[in-house]
Amino acid sequence: MNALALRSKAYWGYDVDFIEACRRELTFDSNYVSSNPVFVGVLDGKPVGFYALERLSDTEAELGALFVEPERIGRGIGRALISHAKQTARKHGYLSIVIQGDPNAADFYRAAGGVQCGELPSRSIPNRVLPLFRIKLEESSDG
């Protein structure tokens, strides 16, 4: 998962120093996985992407991760993962999902029903601000 997350982040053309600065934030250890629902998308027996949900409150979850293998980006894997995340969040009783997204993925999150509701500082890169999105699940048409 960790290597997949770094490869996926690098897809956007970030240099080696940038990716290295993100390594800690994009490391999902056994403690993280045992504390948060993590789902892996598999095709032909190989992982092609994954997402994680983090509980923020009784009604809100954060999309803690959503990464797709670079050669699979643009082929519907991300859409399938976000759709599954929305269904999973609904099953857990959440009314919304918040996402601190990479600016390069902003159109993807908008297409998934996300509305930008603010900005937050990057946890990895000083002086970098990332868009914050919210998907209201009760208004979503995802099945």
Torsion of CA 6, 3, 105, 53, to 10 degrees: -120
Q: What CATH number corresponds to the domain at position 78?
A: 3.40.630.30
Alpha helices in 11-130 (DSSP H): 16-22, 30-35, 77-91, 106-111
Residues 8-55 pLDDT 10s:
999 999 999 999 999 999 999 999 999 999 999 999 999 999 999 999
Taking the CA atoms of 56, 53, 72 and 134 in sequence, report the sign of the dihedral they define. Answer: negative
Split into its structural domains, the chain has a count of 1
Residues 114-136 pLDDT 10s:
999 999 999 999 999 999 999 99
CB 46 within 8 A of CB 4: no
What pLDDT shows up at residue 138? Answer: 75
This prediction has a pTM of 0.92
Owner of token pair 């490391």: 27
Per-residue pLDDT band for 140 (boundaries 50, 70, 90) equals: very low
58: domain range?
A: 2-139
